[in-house]
A and B are shown apart, each in its own frame.
Chain A
Amino acid sequence: MTAQSPRFSFTSDAIILEISENKKAPIFKVYKGLYTSEGQIYGKKAILGSFTQNTTNVHFIPLLPFQKNSNYTIVYKNQLYSFIIPLAPSYNHLQVETLYPNTTVVPSNFLKWYIRFSKPVNPSKIYEHIHLINNHTNTEVNRALLPLETPLLSNDGTLLTLWIEPGRQKRDLGPNKRLGEVLIPETSYTLIIDKDLKDHQGIPMKMEYKHAFTVSTSDRVKPTITSWKLHLPSSKTKEELHIDFQELLDFGSLQNTISIIDGSGNIIAGEFTIKTNQKNAYFKPLSNWKKGNYTILYKPIIEDISGNNLERLFDRDITIKATPPLLKHSFIIK
């Protein structure tokens, strides 16, 4: 820029143009990309945003923040000025924090994973970055994961639910009969999330994520609370009540589905910690436990990792009469 060049400054959220006179400054336009002549910009649309002006500055606020490490070009008074918002060297790249379940053995009718990312992930085209590899053939398993145009992401964008194709996991549907279940017993696979997956700011992961596992036979048994073990706290303490599920349960289905009441039916205030990968849940009360009778209430939608819940199998055989589930555990604190 020459000495007469306009003085621009840039942030992710704004372009600021210094002006020397208190008069209406000509509006500039901003384009995505690096251009050196106005001819190259012909036919392109300027970035949407709004302008504000005070006595010394004109501010352009783009509708969405400028991407890091991307080129942009300003056209102002028939001159072109380019800029990049650099990525901070200390930037924390997206990574997978946890996988639920993270077990190395899953049944062949396994239904879904939950993937916890370290920061909000870009939902657009997310399934293009997730692959299931058959380790024996070293090839990608086609049509294994269900793509949804609106991926099942938590509101903060960090928890993704990933379904195995349900049309193949449900018995007797056309795809199931023709192709069988997605996962073959005694075969090993690797779930891969490639490093091109981006976060909400458009910055890709640095490293790919891999999770290897093998497949056992299908699980067609409902979970039942009678096989769960309770480890009771002592009265006059805030010790944790520990529920040992003895089997892997579905991470999502355990959220907000367990409560504890006292002998009068009052809900005990406290916090649950669900550790599905360890087959455990812990409840820490806000107040000290008192001596007396208590009941743990379970919602019937609590399910195992094959989608069988306390009430019914994932694909229930309707020719077999169902028995009502047990949904309460009673215990006494002495």
Chain B
Amino acid sequence: MRKTLLTMALGLLLTPLFASTSNTDGFITGNPEISSINAMTFGPEGILFIGDSNGAQIVAIDMSTASKANNEKLRIPDIELLLSELLGSDSDQIQIIDMVVNPANENIYIGAQHSSGKSLLFLVNNNSLEMVPLHSVSYTKTAVSNVVASDAKDRRGRPLRKWTISDLKYDNGQVMLSGLSNAEFASTFRSIPFPFTQKQNESSLEIYHAAHGQYETASPIKAFTTTQINNKPHLIASYTCTPLVIFPISELKPGAHTKGRTVAELGNWNTPLDIIEMEKEGARYILMANTNRALMKIKVADIESFGDSLTTPVSERADTAGVDFINLPFVNVQQLDKLNDTEFVFIQREASGKLALKTSNNRWL
């Protein structure tokens, strides 16, 4: 008996060493029935996460088997014209929703929405766009429940409530998403363990924002990223009402009245679109694309050393306050992602009015 127990104990100890587990275990091949592409991000092993607000779901698709695209001399001078030609539709009927890079192979994916309600996924290849069919893919998915039941309909049966996914990130086994309600100015930030499980185990968090320690709103987060601040995992998030805040991820607990530390106000009417982190010569930088400002660069060390939160009035610099940031000479950047260790890819509305996809590098850092 003792030998048996010892064998069992050894077996239990050794199992993890021999088990071949992958994040794509349990994926099935088929049609994930994606109703809308609202936000995208890549996780480990070439897994693409798609936030589908209309379908109230997060879909994880295995993109690891996709061929590496040819992105030499990457530049698409008029991506709206290209989409218009490919889809046979006026460019004002098409909107680019998100652009993400698979860090495993630097493939660039673009999610677009047509006015008919159809969402499409494209791969950038040879300075053109190739459609990525989504009706037969290796995938898994999980439902995202609404805070308030979404089945409210008017007398003609038209749906009323909607929770729109505004940003989506993967970090350390968690899919995190922020969203906006069409009914309340309220914040719900969710964290869902990945691989997904059958049981509903998402954490739903209320996030607040206090202006100078006096007025507080349950503010929706528009865009966010994760990073290490003073060697601890943090969320860097931006609200729709312009402040940039940081949260220790360890404090994001369900039911907690979570209030971030404000590190900057970004100026009126300025909603961040994408936040990424780049590194150069050992220093880390946050790059942020905005609706109404140039591409912003913030040194992570400045955030780390910024001890004070904006809880007391501060002297304001121009239209902003808080940590220093530098406006880079890239205006009207609408999409931004890290391409590799030294380059970033972005989509920019140029002075000519054309929407161009191009790259730049860390010489600006």
Contacts and interface: CB of A to CB of B under 8 A. Distances in A.
A178 B318 CA distance: 10
A159 B182 contact: yes
Contacts of B160: 154, 159, 252, 255
A175 B320 CA distance: 9
Interface string A177-214: 01100000000000000000011111000000000000
Q: For the complex, would chain B's binding face be called helix, strand, loop or mixed by DSSP majority?
A: loop
Contact of A170 (B92, B215, B321): B215
Contacts of A153: 162, 182
Nearest to B320: A174
A70 interface: yes
B115 A200 contact: yes
A155 B319 contact: no
A63 B131 contact: yes
B241 A170 contact: yes
A81 interface: no
A279 B88 CA distance: 46
A167 B265 CA distance: 10
A38 interface: no
Contact of B85 (A45, A175, A250): A45
A123 B113 contact: yes
B116 A65 contact: yes
Interface stretch (B13-21, B147-155, B277-285, B323-331): B147-155
Of residues B95, B159, B185, B186, which shows the largest number of chain A Cβ atoms within 10 Å of its Cβ? B185
Contacts of A120: 115, 117
A157 B211 CA distance: 34
Given A150-B164, A153-B162, A250-B183, A123 B116 contact: no
Given A149-B334, A166-B241, A167-B242, A124 B92 contact: yes
Contacts of B316: 174, 178
Contacts of B180: 148, 152
B158 interface: yes
Contacts, number: 219
Contacts of A173: 211, 241-243, 265
A314 B209 CA distance: 11
Given A152-B164, A252-B161, A256-B161, A167 B214 contact: no
A111 B183 CA distance: 11
Contacts of A102: none
Contacts of A48: 86-87, 131
B52 to A, nearest CB: 11
Interface stretch (B267-275, B296-304, B336-344): B267-275
B38 A150 contact: yes
A201 B213 CA distance: 48
Contacts of B268: 143, 165, 167-168, 174-175, 178-179
B229 interface: no
A62 B115 contact: no
Given A172-B211, A317-B215, A146 B240 contact: yes
